[in-house]
Amino acid sequence: MIRSILHKGAKLLNPRCLSSSSPLPQKVAISKFDQNHFINYEKLKESLDVVRNRLNRPLTLCEKILYSHLDDPSGQELIRGESYLKLRPDRVAMQDATAQMAMLQFISSGLRKVAVPSTIHCDHLIEAKVGSVEDLNRAKDLNEEVYDFLSSSSAKYGVGFWKPGSGIIHQIVLENYAYPGLLLIGTDSHTPNGGGLGGVLIGVGGADAVDVMAGLPWELKCPKVIGVNLTGKLNGWTSPKDVILKVADILTVSGGTGAIIEYHGRGAESLSCTGMATICNMGAEVGATTSLFQFNHRMSNYLKATGRSDIAHLAEKHSDLLTSDNGCEYDRCIEIDLDKLEPHVNGPFTPDLAHTISKLGSAAVENDWPLDIRVSLIGSCTNSSYEDMTRAASVAKQALSHGLKAKTTFTVTPGSEQIRATMARDGIDKPFNDFGAIVLANACGPCIGQWDREDVKKGEKNTIVTSYNRNFTGRNDANPATHAFVASPEIVTALAIAGDLRFNPLSDTLTGSNGEKFKLEVPVGEELPQKGFDPGQDTYQPPPSDDSDVFVKVDPKSTRLQLLEPFSAWNGEDIVDAPILIKVLGKCTTDHISAAGPWLKYRGHLDNISNNMFLTAVNAENKEMNKVKNQVTGEYGPVPETARYYKANHIPWIVVGDSNYGEGSSREHAALEPRHLGGVAVIVRSFARIHETNLKKQGILPLVFENSSDYDKVQPSDKISLLNLNGLAPGKAVQCQLKHADGSTETITLCHSMNETQIEWFQAGSALNRMKQLMEQQ
């Protein structure tokens, strides 16, 4: 990280596809919020033609979009799973929790303005407690300092700012910025939501966003492509959510790592645009780089309904650019027959533990999961569209017609101000209110742990069902004993009526208030509102044309915001006898490394938020959380406290982890915190994509056991030496010496995926440090 960089970055800036100065055969503004930014399919086609002539083979859709955004189409190496692509994304989107660190890093760069269209969306800091109005007002008071910082820095550096209450970043992007053929990076792992509109939208860490905002090419390992052929047609209770829940069952939480999932086939015609977005959104749960659908009439309908008819017509004219070529090859093929697909409920504790609704009850009994459902929650970035809300409301109406209400606590989260306003205008909120729902603010809320839950005590075993995307241990309410299950909004609503995990709405009956039994009918929803969308309140702040009166201030005494100091560069020496801070046992997501919930308030203050590091990771030595041995004093204590001891005594330390380490959220704090507290390397069986990149960006060595079983050779009391680092090179293994407590040693081999540029990041101390070096050389 860099506190100040001389403003010599003119050569870095390359606002490709930004202005109207380039000749455009058709001038189509991306949205009413981007009247100076236009789609240029002809320019993309020119770049793609260069690649086509080189490869001379049919291309998948994701290849077309990525290769048409190459910085150097004629010279870029193009080998799936191997080459590092240098790309020019069209825009950047950031949510408020990650935007704080991203903007602090951008300010550190010394650049005057962002080089590509960028937006910040205030959706993560609003805690669910009472209801939408009260919770929003409370959030504005509690987070005033952070919102002021984001608002002023947006205005100063040319970033669009969506105020608190606007809605969830991914829904706002889908409604306003996403379009077929778009390449967007977003500082949130569920950025792929926009693939429902036929674009390549990829979740990244804040440092990646800074690169793009600075006008640098963005680097991505050329992904493999998984093709999912959808046949048949959705029917009955089955929904788009069930498609991705089934894919999670097939691929597991790591099966999509290093790949883009591309959906195709006639079955896609039975999915709405927002339904396709739901499927793409949850591709993050299988580790996929992103997911997308081929351009079709459902996307055109959505673009027209959201005031972008010009884009729809332009996309229709360039449909050959926005669909895959006949005969294109996928690295893996999956087929799902929608005619036979049954509603799914996945969980608990992991989104890939799949159950069909007909088998959920028996699985719950067999595994002794709590059958009584305490809370049912619908919404989140995954399932808060107009169609989702209307299908769930149709289930609620049926219950009301028989004199029933929700037996559980029931919450509803509209995805955006536009969805909320349209629901209110069309009367969709009434059945929810009559059903006993608590309507929450247009924000992430309980989905990301922003939930002041009071009905259970921490450690109390209980069950909740949600239409969210993640259900890791403690994810929603910080209670490790909460069993969270993920399903479609309509299934969640049906389960709320019964209040029992064994209820199957496809076959079971309910008893009305008059004592008569009845069976729920298939839910009915509306893909798009017949009267069009109501935009609701204006919550967007555009960048001013003149920012001379705009000042960005960070109080040195603030507990919420902190200017950044650069990390120290590598000293050129091997890492010798480094203690292991923690050897993590089993699943270790970014939630385990850097918890969200109440810690979100410190996302702009690196030192304060570092006190949450590894709080819920399980120590392999004692099977406990947040209790590790200080290898110098011999005493046991909290993980952050132990790390701070090592740092104060200039002792570099290492983390050892298991498979798919760092899965889940894109939060770069899971890399920043270990770096800030003195970590130098993370050694694991395998990494999740975004987290591995984030570690590289911050100058931490991400290393993988050549032999997976070597994980078992490492003892928590070992001292680790990483040797011959002066010879660190792409594809060259790292020799690691383990010194056991009894004095014996053994050597194991570690692999890495760093290319030459990423090795330079390590040597400079971080990617931002390397950026400074390059700027000073100009």
> Helices 169-176 and 273-281, interaxial angle, to 10°?
140
CA-to-CA separations, 94 to 159, 282, 416, 598, in angstroms, rounded: 10, 18, 16, 20
Most distant pair of Cα atoms in the chain: their distance: 81
470 is an active site residue: yes
Which of these is catalytic: 123, 211, 352, 388?
A: 123
Q: Give the dihedral of Cα atoms 103, 107, 111, 116; nearest 10 deg.
A: 0
448 neighbors 414 (Cβ within 8 angstroms) = no
CA angle 137, 140, 143 (to 5 degrees): 145
Distance between first and last Cα of the chain: 20
Cα distance between residue 222 and residue 704, in whole Å: 20
665 is an active site residue: yes
> Which residues touch 174 (CB under 8 Å, ≥6 apart)?
193, 194, 196, 197, 274, 277
Q: Can you give the C-alpha Rg of the chain in angstroms?
A: 25
Q: Which strands, in side-by-side order, build the sheet including 332-337?
A: 290-293, 259-264, 224-231, 332-337
Going by C-alpha positions, the residue among 384, 418, 541, 448 that lies closest to residue 98 is 448
Cα distance between residue 115 and residue 229, in whole Å: 38
> Helices 386-401 and 417-426, interaxial angle, to 10°?
40
Q: What tokens appear for 650 in the block? A: 């200039």
Which of these is catalytic: 470, 603, 675, 752?
A: 470
Which of these is catalytic: 37, 124, 475, 605?
A: 124
Q: What tokens appear for 255 in the block? A: 């099966």
Which of these is catalytic: 667, 689, 691, 752?
A: 667
> Which residues touch 599 (CB under 8 Å, ≥6 apart)?
609, 612
Strands, DSSP E only, in 18-116? 84-87, 91-95
CA-to-CA separations, 718 to 319, 508, 638, 740, in angstroms, rounded: 58, 57, 19, 5
- For tokens 């006898």, the residue is 577
Cα distance between residue 178 and residue 194, in whole Å: 6
135 is an active site residue: no
Going by C-alpha positions, the residue among 668, 678, 696, 683 that lies closest to residue 641 is 678
Which of these is catalytic: 90, 135, 188, 658?
A: 188
Q: What tokens appear for 395 in the block? A: 């289930």
Going by C-alpha positions, the residue among 317, 337, 336, 446 that lies closest to residue 381 is 446
Q: How many angstroms from the chain centroid is the CA of residue 119?
A: 16
667 is an active site residue: yes
Cis amide linkage into residue 348, ω under 30° from 0: yes
> Which residues touch 28 (CB under 8 Å, ≥6 apart)?
38, 39, 310, 311, 314
Q: What tokens appear for 722 in the block? A: 């990483």
Cα distance between residue 392 and residue 406, in whole Å: 12
Instruction: List the catalytic residues.
Output: 123-124, 188, 470, 665, 667
